[in-house]
Amino acid sequence: MPPMVEKVLLAEPRGFCAGVEMAIKALTWMVNIFEPPVYCYHEIVHNQAVVEAFQAAGVIFVDDISEVPHGRPVMLSAHGSAPEIVTEATNRAAVMVDAVCPLVTKVHHEVKLMAGKDFDIIYVGHDGHDEAIGAVAEAPAAVTLVDPEQGLGSFEARDPSKVALLAQTTLGMHEWEGVLDTAAERYPELTTARRSDLCYATTNRQSAIRQLAQETDTILVVGSEASSNTQALVRVGRKEGTPSYRVDGPEDIDPSWLTDSKIVGVTAGASAPDQRVREVIDAIAPSDGVAILSLTDEDEYFPLPPTLRQFVKTLQAVVEGGFAVKNQNRPGPIEQDPDYSATGALDLLWV
Ligand code: SF4
């Protein structure tokens, strides 16, 4: 790594959001309760290091629910699943835990609600992304998926007074606003979520990278290629005029990116572990150290999925002194979940 980087400016907030925290901790419980394999429909979150950690712990990730043998435990990913997948997983599994983020569930509800009112729904999202597939599947006949970078395209409403605009939670804010402006102009009675469907984690991280872009020469965004919110962060950084690059970890850093950079900004997508962020900073090795650029505090907490909580409580109740676990890498009592972090869970998996 070239030695000329003087300082790293580290964005806060960055990395794990409340939905990812919940999903990683939930899958950690699953691998500690059940003998392997535990099945997970789709990547639990879109991060290579997280997926590999769980694969090493006995999780098999599938993209087709029919690959799950009957009677095995199954978890559904944080991105939300189509209703028929939830039904099929429930039918197949001994225990089925849906780790969908509650903010994704909110959008599923909006799709069902507006379809029930016979609205045409424009869903702004990325074709083929797990979250978009799950949301559109709630009412496919009523929904038109439009790409945020291409706008409304050939969409035509049956009734211009009954059009709803919904969105994937992880879009770039500027991309969402572009589609919103066009749609509002074309359909003055447009119905949309009060503060958009973009989640708090998406908007906070994008606000932070916009500030980072003003104060740095280059930005590295830690996260995996399949992570929509990570890719959005890179686009936001570039839109602000600062060269921005996605890296999964230090191995992806091209030294030429940093040749003329005295101050390097570092942030991370919502599914990127802080362990990878630390490795990236270690590789940059700034001569004057690391400073924090803090925009806001986040204290959101999403409880573990109700089926998992109930299952663990039942086990705890029937086995005196707590249930037997097959190794030491387990979270504490389930009531203490708010004090327990996904970063800590991954540290245990990686020992
Ligand atoms: S990025 Fe937002 S919607 Fe997605 S899991 Fe995190 S909090 Fe939930």
Whether 251 is covered by a domain: the verdict is yes
> Could you give the angle at which helices 18-33 and 342-350 cross, rounded to 10 degrees?
40
Whether 48 is covered by a domain: the verdict is yes
Q: How far is the CA of 310 from the centre of ligand 1 (A)?
A: 23
Indicate if 307 and 263 belong to the same structural domain.
Answer: no
CA 104 to ligand 1: nearest atom: 3
pLDDT the model gives residue 324? 53
Instruction: Report pLDDT digits (tens) over 104-151.
Output: 999 999 999 999 999 999 999 999 999 999 999 999 999 999 999 898
Asked if residue 170 lies in contact with residue 233, where contact means CB atoms within 8 angstroms, the answer is no
Indicate if 315 and 247 belong to the same structural domain.
Answer: no
The total number of structural domains in the chain stands at 3
Q: How far is the CA of 341 from the centre of ligand 1 (A)?
A: 16
- Is it the case that residue 19 has pLDDT exceeding 90? yes
For ligand 1, pick from 77, 169, 206, 231 the residue to mutate: most ligand atoms within 8 Å of CB.
169
Q: Give the mean model confidence (pLDDT) for residues 176-188.
A: 95
- Is it the case that residue 1 has pLDDT exceeding 60? no
Q: Give the mean model confidence (pLDDT) for residues 227-239.
A: 97
pLDDT the model gives residue 319? 72
Kindly list the protein residues whose Cβ atom lies closer than 6 A to any atom of ligand 1: 17-20, 78, 101, 103-104, 169-170, 199, 201-202, 229, 270
Q: How far is the CA of 78 from the centre of ligand 1 (A)?
A: 8
pTM for the structure as a whole = 0.93
Can you tell me which residue has the tokens 């990913």?
A: 77
Cα–Cα distance for residue pair 53/50, rounded to 1 Å: 5
* Final residue of a structural domain among 294, 312, 337: 294
User: Residue 324: phi, psi to the nearest 5?
Assistant: -75, 135
Instruction: Report pLDDT digits (tens) over 59-80.
Output: 999 999 999 999 999 999 999 9
Whether 2 is covered by a domain: the verdict is no
* Final residue of a structural domain among 163, 192, 221: 192
Whether 140 is covered by a domain: the verdict is yes
The CATH number of whichever domain residue 158 belongs to comes to 3.40.1010.20
> Could you give the angle at which helices 18-33 and 306-318 cross, rounded to 10 degrees?
40
Indicate if 122 and 174 belong to the same structural domain.
Answer: yes
Q: Give the mean model confidence (pLDDT) for residues 235-240.
A: 97
Residue nearest atom 7 in ligand 1 by C-alpha distance: 19
> Average pLDDT, whole number, for the chain?
93
- Is it the case that residue 323 has pLDDT exceeding 60? no
CA 101 to ligand 1: nearest atom: 8
Residue 21 bears catalytic tag: no
pLDDT the model gives residue 2? 52
pLDDT the model gives residue 228? 94
Q: How far is the CA of 103 from the centre of ligand 1 (A)?
A: 6
Q: How confident is the model at residue 57 (pLDDT cuts 50, 70, 90)?
A: very high
Which of the residues 43, 110, 131, 175 is marked catalytic?
Answer: 131
Indicate if 124 and 170 belong to the same structural domain.
Answer: yes
Q: How far is the CA of 37 from the centre of ligand 1 (A)?
A: 27
Residue 264 lies in domain? 7-16+200-294
- Is it the case that residue 331 has pLDDT exceeding 70? no
Percent of the chain with pLDDT over 90: 85
The CATH number of whichever domain residue 46 belongs to comes to 3.40.50.11270
Residue nearest atom 5 in ligand 1 by C-alpha distance: 19
pLDDT the model gives residue 329? 54
Residue nearest atom 8 in ligand 1 by C-alpha distance: 19
Instruction: Report pLDDT digits (tens) over 155-180.
Output: 999 999 999 999 999 999 999 999 99
